[in-house]
A and B are shown apart, each in its own frame.
Chain A
Amino acid sequence: MAGVGTAHLRPADEVLLQVTDLHVEYSAGRGRRVRAVSGVSFDMTEGETLGLVGESGCGKSTTARAVLQLPRPTSGRVVFDGVDLTTLRGEELRRVRAGLQMIFQDPIASLNPRREVRDIVREGLDIWPDHRYRAPENGRDESGGGDPGPSSPATDRVRAVLGSVGMDLDEVGNRRPHEFSGGQCQRICIARALALDPRVLICDEPVSALDVSIQAQILNLLEDLKELYGLTMLFIAHDLAVVKSISDRVCVMYLGRICEIGPTDAIFDDPAHPYSDALLSSIPQLDPGGGTEDEVLPGDPPSPFDVPSGCRFRTRCPRATELCAETVPELRAVSPGRFVACHFPLTASPPDAARHEGGATSTPSAATSSHP
């Protein structure tokens, strides 16, 4: 059986990016291997935002980087606009990759400490001088004011993208990364990624270092780019309210595999995978004194060097039976557009019924077929 299923993929000619059965393994020394990503498949139509959430270390960043072939996945296909990136080399790959930009998780570490901000942001523009933007170049921030300084198409572009993340080229242009705060570095990374006007933007925790007001400004900007120019996004974040706000669809991962994928509001209203349920019920509330000590997810995270058999969540799942230890659950539809990889999903049937009739004898289809 290949991975955890591809039933949720849409026809290849309807999507802009399609990732099929992605596997990434790292060598961890002494002959041990980390199975960071094991059979992940997803797709995005043009202008769609897919949110990617899951436990720390479950393989989100690895998945994101594998899409860009940084590094190349151990196996699997990544088809962007009809071209399989895993088959491209050198110059060819670099050219196609200009259409896919990434905002990396650790903003400061991803900025060259010796370069000035203006050069960091215009880097890509110099490599692709004849790049044509779909977006207007004079999106100058109206609050900018002051002397606009020397102007050229590239400078205008740099000024516009910095302005859109709330920074002024004249103020920050000739400073270097170490002179900025965590959130300022993150905004520089966002500006750099947007400068080339990518078709696909891969965002790995793009707003985690920002205060909520600048975060709101960036999220609104991304929504505008999506509305106006059909920007397609893979959006990784731990802040579930942020993910909910920006995503059309959400994909929940656990230990290298997809648990559940489907429309955002449906998953947030009614998670079907026991892990999604645990995750969503731990969202901290905005009330003073609300910190509690009750455990939502019992047990320790399993080792990625020695993953559990069957369903990888079973060692911490309140619904697990023998079946879960024996058979890897495949992604199956529970309702139109919603797919869950669980033998006993938390859909309409009462949990006790599922558990009791379930046991080792229940078949996977019996547990999921009762839904429209």
Chain B
Amino acid sequence: MSHSPETPTLVVDDLRTSFTTARGELKAVDGVSFSIHSGRTLGVVGESGSGKSATARSIMNLLPPGSSQSTGRVLLDGRDVRNLPRAESRHIWGVEASMVFQNPMTSLNPVMQVGRQISEGLRYHRRLPREAAMRRARELLEQVGIAEPDQRLREYPHQLSGGMRQRVMIAIALACEPKLLIADEPTTALDVTVQKQILDLLDRLRRQHRMAMILITHDLSVVAGRTDDVIVMYAGRVVERAPTLQLFTAMRHPYTKALFESIPKVAHPSHTRLQIIQGRPPDLAYLPPGCAFAPRCTHAQPQCLGESPSLSGSDASEHRYACFYPAGTAEGESALAGNRAAGQTAAGLALVNGPATAGGGAV
């Protein structure tokens, strides 16, 4: 996204991934494009189920073979890595490009000691002898802040706490010093002090080895403090994209804006009612025509129900959004004011005054 002349570390172009399910084809990723230069961090935020992990898995060639289809281009250092012969791709995934998975327990091998899991890649890809690989594994555990690394190297995943497993995953991903790291919710199981330590470590590697990083996270303060650019996803598409600073000063897409309004604030007293987004996430097997956010959007107009907005913005800025009536623009604010006056949106969403209440009924 920056105008650097060098080849980006990663280019993703019109990525589309779908899964075959009992209810038909589910479009998990629907035309996603972006690029990252070395030494930069791209934050990815968005609705649960919007295709963030599916995007990451598509890039990393990790989709379930039978039940998924994926098209689009993925360039690593300018090289198309989607259709490489096995012999060549073997030393790319997990080595040049590696990933921290969202679910440590299901991604770690439950019957293999932690030390072996970390050192395996080093022995296989970097041809390190056993001893040296173990020494490096120990060093990595220390870097991710795990006390008594010697003891932990001999333990199995179930003997570790949730946050320790997550840090073991990070150690595995960093072992071969990748050019590209995709970290899918890497700090959810960590307390704020350890989280800070891990993010500082990643920052350091980014600067020292010019590593490029994709940081998928629901933690918007992590996005604020640790990324250069951000993409916001909804229903398999990028709905907003901007340099981080710009996004935080002017959120244009109504989904982005609503998302930020749901954040609980430490400054508020406890039991403060939280703002939600009305309605339910869309069914990706039966996406409505038009803007996927329209049924839940407070700005929605008739146009939004029939036409699908594409990612656009003014040429002068790198800020892009897929919305006909963006927040903070004249069209957007008058659309919202009109809906408020009518008491509902074009999609029939009732606009209540004051904070919205939970969409689900009482249980």
Binding site for B on A (CB under 8 A): 26, 28-29, 32, 53-57, 61, 105-109, 135-136, 138-144, 160-161, 163-168, 171, 174-175, 178-184, 187, 194, 197, 205, 208-217, 219-221, 223-225, 228, 238-242, 244-248, 264-265, 268, 278-279, 282-291, 293, 296-297, 300-305
Contacts and interface: CB of A to CB of B under 8 A. Distances in A.
Interface in B337-363: 357-363
A172 B220 CA distance: 28
A53 B191 contact: yes
Given A106-B105, A268-B266, A279-B192, A57 B48 contact: no
B283 A168 contact: yes
A244 B266 contact: yes
B22 interface: yes
B270 A285 contact: no
B363 A161 contact: yes
B161 interface: yes
A303 B155 CA distance: 14
A57 B161 contact: yes
Contacts of A107: 103
Contacts of B59: none
A289 B243 CA distance: 11
Contacts of B203: 291, 293
Interface in B125-176: 145, 147-148, 151, 154-155, 159-164, 167
Given A291-B203, A303-B148, A213 B191 contact: no
A216 to B, nearest CB: 4
B225 interface: yes
Contacts, number: 267
Interface of B: prevailing SS = loop
A182 B53 contact: yes
A180 B276 CA distance: 22
Interface string B46-59: 11110011100000
Contacts of A297: 193
B193 A55 contact: yes
Please classify how large the interface on chain B is, using the bins under 10, 10 to 19, 20 to 34, 35 or more: 35 or more
Given A166-B280, A182-B53, A286 B221 contact: yes
A253 to B, nearest CB: 10
- Nearest first, the 7 closest Cβ-Cβ pairs linking A and B are A183-B48, A56-B163, A139-B361, A291-B225, A164-B360, A216-B274, A109-B105
B162 A265 contact: no
Nearest to A219: B274
11 contacts: A105-B189, A106-B103, A106-B106, A167-B280, A180-B49, A209-B188, A239-B219, A241-B265, A283-B192, A290-B225, A297-B193
Contact of A265 (B46, B196, B269): B269
Contact of B48 (A209, A264, A293): A209
A223 B277 CA distance: 17
A165 to B, nearest CB: 7
Contacts of B48: 181-184, 187, 209-211, 214
A282 B105 contact: no
B185 interface: yes
B262 interface: yes
B314 interface: no
B268 interface: yes
Given A209-B102, A301-B145, A164 B361 contact: yes
